[in-house]
Amino acid sequence: MEGKTLRRSFWQRILGIAATRAPRDPACWRYDRGIVTVDLEGALEIAAPGSSVRLEGKDLPVRVLVVHGEDRKFHALHNCCGHLGRRVDLVPGSDTLQCCSVGKSRYDFTGRVLNGPATRGLHVLPVEREGNTLRIRLPHE
């Protein structure tokens, strides 16, 4: 899968428009005192392995990318590329993430830069699953 990339239009890349969507049901997650809680029954975007969703707004201090990996585990990362600070997206059919900009920096789920112009990796956020609930701990502000 190393050769796979996201197919984005020229203007989407120039403008840094991410492919990953926000949840259709904004009530499926909330943020309170450093913890993001996601109700998996409402977050249909990450129901299947190989899917992702981006969480933004609601007083969330950082953008968060939640990935349901092909490994069937949930991963969460600060959604901010180490090159230009734009969002990152899951590369379909792989266990890698790619920046939405023209630089196309790529990362693994540990946040490590695999290639591209990024000078720093992504910050991984701890995820705990209890039944149909994910809890993602944000770094101290």
Q: What per-residue confidence (pLDDT) applies to 38?
A: 98
Going by their DSSP bridges, the two strands 124-125 and 74-78 should be labelled as antiparallel
* Cα–Cα distance for residue pair 35/20, rounded to 1 Å: 22
Which stretches in the chain have pLDDT values below 70? 1-8, 13, 141
Task: Give one word for 31, left, alpha or beta, with left for phi > 0 and alpha for psi -120 to 50.
Answer: beta
Spell out the alpha helix ranges (H) of the chain. Answer: 10-15
Give 21's contacts (C-beta < 8 A, 6+ positions apart): 45, 53, 54
Per-domain residue ranges for the chain? 10-137
Q: What per-residue confidence (pLDDT) applies to 7?
A: 62
* Cα–Cα distance for residue pair 71/49, rounded to 1 Å: 7
Q: What per-residue confidence (pLDDT) applies to 59?
A: 93
Q: What per-residue confidence (pLDDT) applies to 125?
A: 98
Q: What per-residue confidence (pLDDT) applies to 73?
A: 96
Q: What per-residue confidence (pLDDT) applies to 4?
A: 54
State pLDDT tens for residues 59-88.
999 999 999 999 999 999 999 988 877 889
Domain 10-137: top CATH class: mainly beta
